[in-house]
Structure 1
Amino acid sequence: MKKLILFFAIIALTIVACQDNSDEITPNQEVTAIDMSDFFVYTNDDTLSAKATADAKNDKCYSMKVLNRQLKENPSLEKRMYDIELHTRKLIAAKGKPGSGGGGTPTPDPTPYAGAVSIPVVVNILEDPAHPVTQAHIDSQIAILNADFNNNNPNTAGVPSEFASLVADVNITFTLAAVNRKASSKSSWGTNDAMKLSSQGGIDATDPANNLNLWVCEIGGGILGYAQFPGGTLATDGVVIGSDFLGENTAGGVYGHGRTATHEVGHWLNLRHIWGDGRCRQDDFVDDTPSSDAPNYGDPIYPTVNCKSNDMTMNYMDYVYDNAMYMFSKGQNDRMRTIFAVGGSRESFVQ
């Protein structure tokens, strides 16, 4: 009996020892801790500074408020977005680091997707006779997206020297895949995604896993547009633009040069607002964009100082006039490209 007890004790100790060693680092294994302590999804209106709340037209983009609504309607979305952010940070942290494979064979660590990306665009128009959307508007919008995401915006020559080395060529090309039109009698579609659903009078998305769906309609409330972040429901995935703000459009005034789409596609590619939708300590998760505490408006004069640094007011993810925004940063480029990498939330676009 004693020998039997001793036998089982030895087995138990062996199992415990194996479990204790399961997390040991092998000679070729490198472990990098990813800090997620600053990650957030919900935003509050009271985080906006007096500068923003004093502006009667502060809701240029409704993406974050739409995200708040979607999070309430779908509790699992927060976990999906957390996982996407963790994947993003892992790839950025691994960028440029040598890796090791089995048997000592060198292999590269995963990095943000390095190839050229081509994104088909399906334009879904809810036609309002008072706000016509012509083929010229559509064609100019595709051209503007291609200029902005390939560092061909002519205004980029005006980037201050402080930020000149940070200007990115994102190397994403947009092609017009289809145009769907549907007559609409609605003067305001709001932001509840009704325009994306035929059951609510809108137009259903076309293969959203492989197309960027762009809905054009009267949103209302002075809102220029909004986008769905990666991780949301496929049926509503895409970007919404107000009819007057698509492409080169005189009806859009200072916002009639197609940059609403550039801004919203940035969100669709997982960029946050340049000021992080909060105070100085709430970040946009990009290392090379300066901290700020609120959006900028109009045509700011450089330097505009907030949070003890100069704002990158010319960034596409701010709220300035269309002709006053003309760059993505290299850090934003890395962030966008991670979603096309293996395991990325938009990997289907490059498979």
Structure 2
Amino acid sequence: MKLLAAAALIAALVPALPSGPPPAAASPATARADDCAHAEARLRPGAHGREHNDLTPAEAATVEQRLNRILDDLGLSPADGTDSRPAAGELRTAQQISIPVYFHVLHNGARGNVSTAAVKRQISTLNASYGGLNGGADTRISFELRDVSRTDNAAWFSDPERYERTYKPRLRKGGKGTLNLYSTYIGGDLLGWSTFPWKYKSEPKMDGVTIHYGSMPGGYIENFNKGFSATHEVGHWLGLYHTFQDGCGGEGDRVSDTPAERDPTNGCPTGKDTCPSPGDDPVHNYMDYSYDTCMTSFTAGQGVRMHKVWQAYRR
């Protein structure tokens, strides 16, 4: 279960989406579930959750063992970058994956009721990110908006974690290969969260990605308003870990072409190298915690891993 950071919201934000003071926390209609379905998140720099909101090394090791057993049964190589074929070549020959998207706007009257145009900009940002148009690898993964739903519910909007087990089962559409993306207001330092693909079988109705509406392209959260929080969370939905998973030890993020990184990146440093192993920290990678203005790319190895996880869990 992810722990929320205790730091306060960044002050003096200038809204570009529907404005007004943050809503007060809603009174619970149901108790918050102890076994939170979401496991990965994006926090603003300086916030600290449990192991930076990553799986522990032991938890990740268990996930990888199960994943690689499935891939072996499918006749595919492991997802940890140990394949002898160069990742770039393998990615170029991978079959294109087109993912249908149902976008659910949770709002409280005008607050958070983002326009359909804003939703389409977010989908375009996903396609640019995963298509390599901002830099890095073309992952051969694309997204197609199928529908936009709108739910005017002050409680769900004000405390989406508390009510996650209420709104998701009612709103979610499609199967294991369908992305359900929820925009809402999220308090504290949290910018969004996602479920992992290997959780779908046990809790299919909880599957999906939740983002702070202020993090969408043109949103009001300073330094985090280019839409890359969705890019980051969808990366988790497709099976990627944070670049700083396991820190300088263990097996890292299980992708061979992302150098090990001890700590998440704060801001957009010109250089950062926190581990003795070769390579500078991947501060421009979408799976770090850098500012949106700093993020540009996935690696070919991350693209290959997403395709293999897709074959294992979402095909």
Could you list the runs of 5+ residues in structure 1 that have no partner in the other structure?
A: 1-41, 46-52, 72-76, 98-109, 157-166
- Identify which of 207, 224, 237 aligns with 2:191: 224
Question: In the alignment, what sits opposite 1:84?
Answer: 67
Residue type at the aligned position of 1:324:
C
CA distance in 1, matches of 2:219, 2:254: 35
2:278 is equivalent to residue 307 of structure 1: no
- Identify which of 253, 257, 260 aligns with 1:284: 253
- The 1:190–1:179 alpha-carbon spacing in structure 2 relative to 1, beyond 3 Å, is closer
Q: Which runs of structure 2 are paired with 1:314-329 in the superposition (5 Å)?
A: 314-329=284-299
Could you list the runs of 5+ residues in structure 2 that have no partner in the other structure?
A: 5-42
SS in 1 for 2:220: helix
- The 1:327–1:54 alpha-carbon spacing in structure 2 relative to 1, beyond 3 Å, is closer
CA contact (8 A) 1:340 1:346 kept: yes
Q: Give TM-score, length-normalised by structure 2.
A: 0.71
Q: Which runs of structure 2 are paired with 1:92-241 in the superposition (5 Å)?
A: 92=78, 93=82, 96=85, 114-128=94-108, 129-153=110-134, 156=135, 167-186=136-155, 188-191=158-161, 194-195=163-164, 197-198=166-167, 203-232=170-199, 233-241=203-211
Question: In the alignment, what sits opposite 1:255?
Answer: 224
Q: 1:127, CA displacement in angstroms?
A: 1.0
CA contact (8 A) 1:63 1:226 kept: no
Percent identity, aligned pairs only?
29
Residues 259-300 of structure 1 deviation map (CA, whole Å, 9 limit, x = unaligned): 000000100110000011534445111111111111001111
Residue type at the aligned position of 1:304:
K
Question: In the alignment, what sits opposite 1:32?
Answer: none
Q: CA RMSD in A?
A: 3.4
Question: In the alignment, what sits opposite 1:38?
Answer: none
Q: Give TM-score, length-normalised by structure 1.
A: 0.65
CA distance in 2, matches of 1:260, 1:269: 14
- The 1:119–1:94 alpha-carbon spacing in structure 2 relative to 1, beyond 3 Å, is same
CA distance in 2, matches of 1:148, 1:84: 25
Question: In the alignment, what sits opposite 2:243?
Answer: 274
2:309 is equivalent to residue 339 of structure 1: yes
Q: 1:196, CA displacement in angstroms?
A: 5.3
Q: 1:87, CA displacement in angstroms?
A: 3.7
Question: In the alignment, what sits opposite 2:212?
Answer: 242
CA contact (8 A) 2:91 2:303 kept: no
| Matched residue count | 258
- Highest RCO, 1 vs 2 (Cα 8 Å, sep ≥ 6): 2
CA contact (8 A) 1:126 1:195 kept: no
SS in 2 for 1:340: helix
- The 1:249–1:287 alpha-carbon spacing in structure 2 relative to 1, beyond 3 Å, is same
Q: 1:209, CA displacement in angstroms?
A: 1.9
Q: Which runs of structure 2 are paired with 1:47-62 in the superposition (5 Å)?
A: 56-58=46-48
Residues 96-130 of structure 1 deviation map (CA, whole Å, 9 limit, x = unaligned): 49xxxxxxxxxxxx999811110010011111233
CA contact (8 A) 1:112 1:340 kept: no
CA contact (8 A) 1:123 1:180 kept: yes
Q: Which has the higher helix share?
A: 1
CA contact (8 A) 2:186 2:212 kept: yes
CA distance in 1, matches of 2:191, 2:176: 25
CA distance in 2, matches of 1:318, 1:144: 17
Q: 1:171, CA displacement in angstroms?
A: 1.1
SS in 2 for 1:305: coil
Residue type at the aligned position of 2:304:
D
